[in-house]
Chain A
Amino acid sequence: MKLTATVVLGSPLTIFIVLAIGFSNLNARPIHYGSIDNEDLNLCDALQWKGKRQDAEVCYRQLFQASSDPLIHAEASWALGDIKTANSLFQAAVKSSPEDATVRIRWADLFMQTYQYQDAMALFQEALALAPENAYARIGAARALVERFESDARKYIDDVLADSSAAAGARFQALLLLARMSMESTDMLSAVASLNDAETLAISEELPQLEIYALFASMDLMDGNDNSDWISRALEENPAYGDIYAIPGYFFWVTRRYREAIELFGKAVEVEPDHWVAHMEMGINLLRDNQVTRARQQMEIAYQGDPYNPKTVNTLRLLDTFDEYDLINSPEQPPADGFPRIIFRLHKDESKVLISYAEDLAERGIKEFTERYKFEPKEPVIVEIYPNHDDFVVRTIGMPGVGILGATFGYVFAMDSPTDHADNEYHWGTTLWHELAHVFTLETTDHLVPRWYSEGISVFEEWRFGPIKGIRIPVNVLGAMAEDKFLPIAELDSGFIRPTYDEQVIVSYMQAGLICEYIYRQFGNDKIVELLSVFKEGMETGQAIRKTLEISPSKFDDGFNDFVESEYGDLLSQLDTWKKLHQRALQGVAGSDWKIAKESAEKALDIFPDYVESDSPYLFLAKANAELGDEEAELDTLMQFWQRGGYTMEAVWLLARKLYHRNNIDQAIKVLDSLNLVDPFDIDIHSTLGDWLIEEGKPDSALNEYKVALAMKPHDLAAAYYRVAHANHLLDRRDEARKNVLSALEIAPHYRPAQKLLLETTKTQ
C-alpha cells in the first residue's frame, strides 16, 4: 500500500481523526531503530526523524486510516501523541497477534516512555518467552533494568553485543545504552569508545545518529565546551530535535548540576515547543532550585500537552500542597542588604513544633560547616520537611515509592518529617545534619563533587559532629567488610550509581564515610577541604587524590585498608561470635534468664561496643541489671548506650527519669532533650522537659517546650495554657502571662493553679 503526503479530506472518519488527535506531539515516540519493520510506517518515521513534522503528521494520519493492522494503528497513534489510544490499540494488537513478540516489545516501549518500567519489563519478558533470541526484547529488558538502576542490565547488553546475528538496531541500542551508563558513572573514556562503535554501526546500517550526536554533545557540555559541533550537526539533520539539548539536560541533572539542566531543557523547548517531557523536566529542576512559580508554569505547559505523564501529574499535585506549608525565615528579619540564612518550608500542622529544633540545629550546622569547609553560603539554605513521604519523594524524583530519607539539590534540601516514621527509628536531626552538609559540599564545588565524596563527608559529619556522635556501621555492612567488598576509591562512585549487589549502596555510604574519617585522622581537615577545591576544578577522583594527598589511588587504598583493619579487624574476625552472643542475650531476655542475658550482653559489648540500634546488647544488659536488682549498673548501662548515640525512646526516657529521680536534673534534661530530634511530636517530652527546666531555673527554655506542647493542641489544653502562662510569669512577661492564664481559665474556670496564678499576676500589676 502506498501513501501519499496528501491528506484525504472529506470523509467523516478523516475529520474525526483530525479532531481526535489535534493536539499532537510528533516527537512523543522515540526512535525504534528497526524494532518494528513496516514499509509504510518506515516512510512516516523517516519524515519524523528528519524533522519534517507536518509531512510526518499527514503521513501518520493517512497510515492510521489506510491500515487495518492494530499494531500499525497503535504506532501511528503513538507517533501523533495519543498515548492513551495507543495503549488500547497495543492491547488489541496483542489479542489479535498473541504469538508476535514485536507487538509486546513495542507495547513495552510505550510503557518505558511513561516510566512504568516494571510493566515494561514484564512485557519484554513475555516477548522473550515467545522469541528468546529477539535482540530488541533483550535490549528492551536491559533498558528497563537500567532505569531501575539494577545491575542485571549489563548481562542483557553483553548478550546482544556478543550475538553477531542480533539485529543491527538492537546492537546499536546496546552501544548507546553502554555509553549512557558510562557517562552516568563519569567514565567518559568508555563512553566515547561505545559511541565510536555505535557511529560505525550506524553508518554501515544507515541508522539515525541523532542520539549519538546528543550523547557526544552531552560530554562536550559537561566538559565546559558550550559550542559543541554536535549540536549544530543534529539540528541540521533535524531542526526540531529538542533532545539535542534535553539529553545533555538529563546528564546535568543526574550529576546534580540543576541550574545548567534548567537552561538546557529551556533550549530543548525552544527548538521543540511540544517536547512535553522537556517542559516537565525543566519544571522539576526549577523546583529543585526553589523557583516555584516558573516551575509551576512549566509543569502546567507539560500537563496541557500530556496529562498522562505521571511525573507531571505527581509534581503538580505536590505543588498544590505547597499552600499547606509555612515559609519561615531565619533570622526572621534578615539584614537590609542580606538574605535570611535559612528558609524553612514546614507543613502548617508541624511548623510550630519543628521550627525551634530545626532552626537550632541548622544554624549550628551552618556556622560549623562554614568554618570547617571554608565556604559561606551565597544564598539562603532552603530546608523542606515533608510529613508525607510520597510527597517528599515526588519532590525529589517526580515519582513516589522510593525509600530515601533526604535529598539535597544545592541550596535546597528536602527530607522526611519524623511524623512519617511511626517506629521512632528515624533520627530526623541526623538526616538534617547530613543533608545540610551536602549543601556545602555541592555549592563549594559548583556541584562538581563526585557522589562518593559528598556522601562520605555527610556520613563523616553525622559521626563526628552531628547531633548523635559516634561511628555507626550496620551489621550487614560489617559483613560486607569481612568479605572484603569495599571498592577501590577510584571506583567508589559506581557503588552508588550502578550497584552490583543488593546492599552495595549502603556499603558504599559507609565506606565513603570511613574514607573521610581516615583522611581526617591521617591527613587532617585541611586536606578534606583541599580535596573539595580540587574537585571544583573538575578533576576525577584518581587525579584529585594524587594532587591533594600526593599519593596514588592504589597507595591510598592500601593505607585505607590498613586503617580499616586496625579499627575493625578484631571486630570483623569476631563478628560471628558477636552475633551468637547477641542472639543468646536476646533469648535470655525473652526467657527471663537474666544471668544468661547479662553475661552474653557483656561479652557482646566487649566485642562491639558501638552497636546502639534498638536491639542493642546495652538494652538487654540494662534490663538484666534491673531484674537482678542492680540499679546502679542499669543506670550506667543506659548512660553508656545514650552516650554512644543510642536513641531508642523507651530506654532514653527511662534514663532521663532515673537521672531526674537521682536529682541529676541537668543531665536528665540533656538526655530527654535529645529525644526532640527523634520524636518532637511526643507531648510528654515537652511537658516533662518544661517542668524540669522550670525546676532548674530556666524558664526561657521551659517556655519553648511548653509552647511546642501547646502547638500540638493537647487534650488537656487548660494545663498547657497554664504552663505557658506560668513560664511567662517567671520571665516577667506580663501580657503573655495574662493572656495564657485567661485562656486556661476560659476552658477551666475552676482550675485552681490557674486561679492562683491569675491572682498573683494581677496583684503584681
Chain B
Amino acid sequence: MKALLITLLVFYFPVSASAELYVTIIQGLDGTPHYNQQFSDQTETLKSVTESIADNNRIQLFFGEDATRDNILSHFQNLKNTITAQDRVSVFMVGHGSFDGYEYKFNIPGPDLTDADIAGFMDALPAEIQLLVNTSSASGVLNNSLKNDSRVLITATRNGNERLATRFGEYFFNAFDNLSADINKNNAITAQEAFDYAVREVTDYFESQGQLATEHAEISGTHASQFVLARIGLKEPSSDDPELTRLISERSEIDVKIEELQLNKSNLQAEEFLNQLQSLMIDLSIVQEKIDEVTGGDEL
C-alpha cells in the first residue's frame, strides 16, 4: 500500500459531538481477472483509509457473493434507521454498469442494483451530508435521479451511452495519496480535487493513445470543493495547547481574508492585488512557521 499516512476524513460542516461517518463500499462483478484485480485494489485502498478514522462497525464492504441486492438494500434500510441528520454518509460503487435505454444496472451477483434502487436508498438516508461515487460504465444515468445540491455525486460517465469499462475509477482512487492531486496544497484531497485529477488523467490517457475519449466523468453538488476525502499527513491538533489553538485560529482568520481578497480580485488593479496578496501570504507564512515550531515541524 501507500507509504504516506492517509486518512479518510469527511469534515468541513459544523458537526455535533455525536456526528459519525458511515462508509459503504460496494464492489460489483468483475468479469475478468484483470478487472477483479483492479476493483479489489481500489476497494482495498478505500477500506484501508476508512479504517483509520471510522469505527469498523461503521464501515461496510460488500464484495463477492455477499454483494447481493437483498444484502445491500437491507444494509441501507438498517442505516436509515440508525443514522441521524448530522451524520455523514459516503457510498462508493466500484464495478461494471449497464444501461438498456430505460434502466441502469450495477452488476452484482443475482439481481442487479438499478438506478431506482440506488436513488431509493440514498434518498431515504436522513444524513444531510452525502457522497456517492460510482465508477462504473454507464453510471452517468444516475445524474438523472440522484443529483441534488447537498449530495456530492460523482459518476464516471456523463450518460448511459458511454458503455465501455471506464478508466476513471483507477485514477480517482490514485488521487487519494497523490501530492499533485492536492491542487491547493492544504494536505487534503477533496472530492473536487480527486475528480479533477482523475478527469485530467483520463483525458491524457486517450490523447496519448490517439483515441477519442469513450468516457466523460461528471460531478455535481455544491460542496464538492469542501468535501474532503483524504488527508495526507494529518495529525489531530492538540486541544490542550492554548498557543497552538490560538495560532490555528489566527491562521483560519488569515485564510478568510485571503478568500475575501480573491473574491474581490476583479475590483483591484493587478499590482494592488499582488501587494495585498503578498502581505496576507507573508502573515500566513509567519503564522505557519510558528505552528511548525510548536508542533515540531509536523504538517498540520
B285 near A746: Cβ-Cβ < 8 Å = no
Q: A336 interface residue, CB < 8 Å from B?
A: no
For B187, what are the chain A residues with a Cβ–Cβ distance below 8 Å? 750
Distance, CA A422 to CA B211, complexed state (A): 9
For A739, what are the chain B residues with a Cβ–Cβ distance below 8 Å? 274
A716 near B274: Cβ-Cβ < 8 Å = no
For A422, what are the chain B residues with a Cβ–Cβ distance below 8 Å? 207-210
* Of B182, B186, B255, B278, the contact of A758 (CB 8 Å cutoff): B278
Distance, CA A748 to CA B188, complexed state (A): 11
B262 near A750: Cβ-Cβ < 8 Å = no
A755 near B278: Cβ-Cβ < 8 Å = no
Q: A751 interface residue, CB < 8 Å from B?
A: yes
Q: How large is the interface on B (under 10, 10 to 19, 20 to 34, 35 or more residues)?
A: 20 to 34
A718-B183 contact in complex given A422-B208, A749-B258, A750-B288, C-beta closer than 8 Å: yes
Q: How large is the interface on A (under 10, 10 to 19, 20 to 34, 35 or more residues)?
A: 20 to 34
Within 8 A of B (CB), among A668-721: 715-719
A716-B180 contact in complex given A738-B278, A742-B278, A742-B281, C-beta closer than 8 Å: yes
Q: A337 interface residue, CB < 8 Å from B?
A: no
Q: A155 interface residue, CB < 8 Å from B?
A: no
Which residue of chain B lies nearest to A756 when distances are taken between CB atoms in the complex? B285
Describe B's contact surface by its main secondary structure.
helix
B277 near A742: Cβ-Cβ < 8 Å = yes
Within 8 A of A (CB), among B179-226: 179-187, 196-197, 200, 207-210
Q: A752 interface residue, CB < 8 Å from B?
A: yes
A715-B197 contact in complex given A422-B207, A742-B277, C-beta closer than 8 Å: yes
Q: Which of B181, B197, B285 has the most CB of A within 10 A?
A: B285
Q: B164 interface residue, CB < 8 Å from A?
A: no
A742 near B274: Cβ-Cβ < 8 Å = yes
Q: B284 interface residue, CB < 8 Å from A?
A: yes
What string of 1s and 0s marks CB contacts (under 8 Å) between A412-434 and chain B?
00000000001100000000000
Within 8 A of B (CB), among A737-765: 738-739, 742, 745-752, 754-756, 758-759, 762
Which residue of chain B lies nearest to A762 when distances are taken between CB atoms in the complex? B282
Distance, CA A748 to CA B197, complexed state (A): 16
* Of B183, B208, B277, the contact of A748 (CB 8 Å cutoff): B183
Within 8 A of A (CB), among B252-292: 255, 258, 262, 274, 277-278, 281-282, 284-286, 288-289
Within 8 A of B (CB), among A531-586: none
What string of 1s and 0s marks CB contacts (under 8 Å) between B38-80 and chain A?
0000000000000000000000000000000000000000000
Which residue of chain B lies nearest to A738 when distances are taken between CB atoms in the complex? B278
* Of B183, B185, B282, B299, the contact of A715 (CB 8 Å cutoff): B183
Which residue of chain B lies nearest to A763 when distances are taken between CB atoms in the complex? B282
Distance, CA A378 to CA B200, complexed state (A): 46
For A745, what are the chain B residues with a Cβ–Cβ distance below 8 Å? 277, 281
Within 8 A of B (CB), among A33-75: none
CB distance from B194 to the nearest CB of A (A): 12
Residues of B within 8 A of A (CB): 179-187, 196-197, 200, 207-210, 255, 258, 262, 274, 277-278, 281-282, 284-286, 288-289, 299
A selection of 22 A-B contacts at a CB cut-off of 8 Å is A422-B207, A422-B209, A715-B180, A715-B196, A715-B197, A719-B180, A742-B274, A742-B277, A746-B262, A749-B186, A750-B185, A750-B288, A751-B184, A751-B185, A752-B299, A754-B185, A755-B288, A756-B285, A758-B281, A758-B282, A759-B286, A762-B282
